[in-house]
Structure 1
Amino acid sequence: MSQAITISAQDILHQVKLSCQIPSIVEQIVTRKIIINAAAEAGIKVEAEELQQAADNIRLISKLKTADETWEWLKKNCLSLDDFEEMVYTNVISGKLAQHLFAYKVEPWFVEHQLDYAGAVIYEVVLDDEDLAMELFYALQEGEMSFPEVAHQYIQDTELRRRGGYRGVVRRNEMKPEISAAVFAAKPPQVLKPIVGAKGVYLILVEEVIKPQLDEKLRYQILSDLFQKWMRQKVDEMKATINIAFDT
């Protein structure tokens, strides 16, 4: 019969140190403290209904349909009910702090940077050989091959090959400058002349260029980006003042 193994909090901390995870965890701790302190200074409050909704969202994301499943999940993650409530509270207060600090800045930011949020529906094949890319480009121009045929023959990734190289809507700020310049100068539908990039030679079909619109999804993305940039700056400012104390 195998001997039972007892794992203490000190064992876990020691393994975290051996795994070189201390810097990452310290940054998470600092982030949480910055959020809580900044929210308190701003007088931000959290209502019981907001906490309940956030808790329900976590259970939904974690696929916890029953109370028993929730308790098992807490046990698996070594969380008490108080720990869970603190996690929920931190999530809610973080979102409310982001709204407090940056909600009014979203529209001006969008107006100033809206070109970055223009999008294009593209299909893409990345090749290793520029001569081959040019050969395929002319074959597409002459109608000797279709883009799905090129994708099926030259894309290694199974899922991307099945989609015919379809990348979906890609925003300008997600593209390399040399690629975005060509994509947004295109007259869709248009196959671009091969573009040499760091990862290979890009053969791209531009199906549609989409003008930027400040919908709820983009509004949330900009808000999140502004908040994360602010948090990054605050964490960097705090690093020099961090003292890590371990019990011996």
Structure 2
Amino acid sequence: MTETIKDTIDLNSPLARLCQNRISGEEVVGLLQKYGIISQLQRELIVDNVIKSIELTAEEVLGGYKAFYQQHQINSDEDRADWLECNHVTLPQFEHFVLRTLKLDRFKRETFASKVDSYFLERKNQLDRASYTVLGVKSFHLAQELFLQVQDGEADLSDLIKQYSGGEADETNGLRGPHELSIPHPILATQLRSLKPGQLAPPLQIAKWFIVVRLEKYFPVQLDEKTRMRLIDELYESMIHRQLHQSIEELKI
């Protein structure tokens, strides 16, 4: 006999009472706190507050629905009904989601678009990307010796990496990136910004390691549309975080 979910769940459990709308508000709050979800609810309520004054035009609403339908390949009322059923969403919930997303997008643009240029200058050093080759050893004197060998043309950096490094370094010949300069250790990132492609840096100490690094290629970030939208999202997230923290401090009992 096939066992069903109903057979395995206590009908007086929080799950059963929640599904049957028999659970108290106090218990719901307790469950949200228990499972670490209450902060997400607080965040969403903050979002509702910041977008409450946004009024959408009919053209924006039509465009929002059209974009959503295209993204999810919804071409008919039947397709939409199938999508709602598969995602366990009611039609009012779906409409609320689309309109809320449109309002949030408008709020972000209106609030932060004018601040992107100056914020870009603040973030540029972290957003620039680089590829580089790195050799790490635990002796300064060895690192200095290897650096001089490569600098004087007596040895090849890749060969030294194979000789002195193992694991991932063997598979990549010590090549890293390209990735944003917010990823490497700050000491290494600062050094990379000072190098020219092909230039080798004297040994750097990072924790217990002494690093010999050569910049392979530098990729300055461009303020294109993709980067602009990313920075708008960063500014928005920072604002929401501040408001969430402020509201918790000011409104808690």
Structure-2-length-normalised TM-score: 0.69
Deviation at 1:213, TM superposition (A): 3.1
Of the three residues 154, 158, 174, the one matched with 2:165 is 154
Q: Distance in 2 between matches of 1:157 and 1:96?
A: 45
Structure-1-length-normalised TM-score: 0.70
Asked if 1:93 corresponds to 2:103, the answer is yes
Of the three residues 9, 14, 18, the one matched with 1:10 is 14
Asked if 1:107 corresponds to 2:117, the answer is yes
Asked if 1:50 corresponds to 2:64, the answer is yes
Q: Distance in 2 between matches of 1:20 and 1:163?
A: 47
Judge which range, 101-110 or 132-141, deviates more.
132-141
Of the three residues 166, 170, 173, the one matched with 2:176 is 166
Q: Distance in 2 between matches of 1:170 and 1:20?
A: 37
Give unmatched runs, 5+ long, in structure 2. 19-26
- What is the alpha-carbon root mean square deviation over aligned residues? 4.2
SS in 2 for 1:184: helix
Deviation at 1:146, TM superposition (A): 3.8
Q: Distance in 1 between matches of 2:92 and 2:212?
A: 54
Judge which range, 113-122 or 90-99, deviates more.
113-122
Q: Distance in 2 between matches of 1:49 and 1:208?
A: 42
Aligned pairs, how many? 233
Deviation at 1:189, TM superposition (A): 1.3
Asked if 1:206 corresponds to 2:221, the answer is no
Offset from partner CA, 1:137-181 (integer Å, 9 cap, x none): 3443335224387269735349x934852310423x444432232
Asked if 1:236 corresponds to 2:240, the answer is no
Q: Distance in 1 between matches of 2:104 and 2:190?
A: 37
Instruction: Indicate how the Cα distance of structure 1 residues 32 and 51 shifts in structure 2: closer, same or farther if over 3 A, else same.
Output: farther
Instruction: Indicate how the Cα distance of structure 1 residues 78 and 206 shifts in structure 2: closer, same or farther if over 3 A, else same.
Output: same
Offset from partner CA, 1:12-39 (integer Å, 9 cap, x none): 87999499533xx222222222222222
Instruction: Indicate how the Cα distance of structure 1 residues 125 and 164 shifts in structure 2: closer, same or farther if over 3 A, else same.
Output: closer
What is the percent sequence identity of the aligned residues?
19
Offset from partner CA, 1:46-70 (integer Å, 9 cap, x none): 512123314543x38xxx9997799
Of the three residues 203, 220, 229, the one matched with 2:229 is 220
SS in 1 for 2:197: coil
Asked if 1:192 corresponds to 2:201, the answer is yes
Deviation at 1:196, TM superposition (A): 2.3
Whether the 8 Å contact between 1:195 and 1:201 is mirrored in structure 2 is yes
Deviation at 1:220, TM superposition (A): 1.7
Offset from partner CA, 1:177-214 (integer Å, 9 cap, x none): 32232112113211222322248444432123344532
SS in 2 for 1:214: coil
What code does the residue aligned with 1:183 have? L
SS in 1 for 2:4: coil
Q: Distance in 2 between matches of 1:2 and 1:165?
A: 55
Asked if 1:140 corresponds to 2:144, the answer is no
Q: Distance in 2 between matches of 1:149 and 1:95?
A: 51
Q: Distance in 1 between matches of 2:164 and 2:33?
A: 43
SS in 2 for 1:99: helix
Instruction: Indicate how the Cα distance of structure 1 residues 96 and 175 shifts in structure 2: closer, same or farther if over 3 A, else same.
Output: farther
Give unmatched runs, 5+ long, in structure 1. 244-248
Whether the 8 Å contact between 2:127 and 2:221 is mirrored in structure 1 is yes
Q: Distance in 2 between matches of 1:65 and 1:128?
A: 60
Give the greater-gyration-radius structure (CA): 2
Instruction: Indicate how the Cα distance of structure 1 residues 17 and 209 shifts in structure 2: closer, same or farther if over 3 A, else same.
Output: same
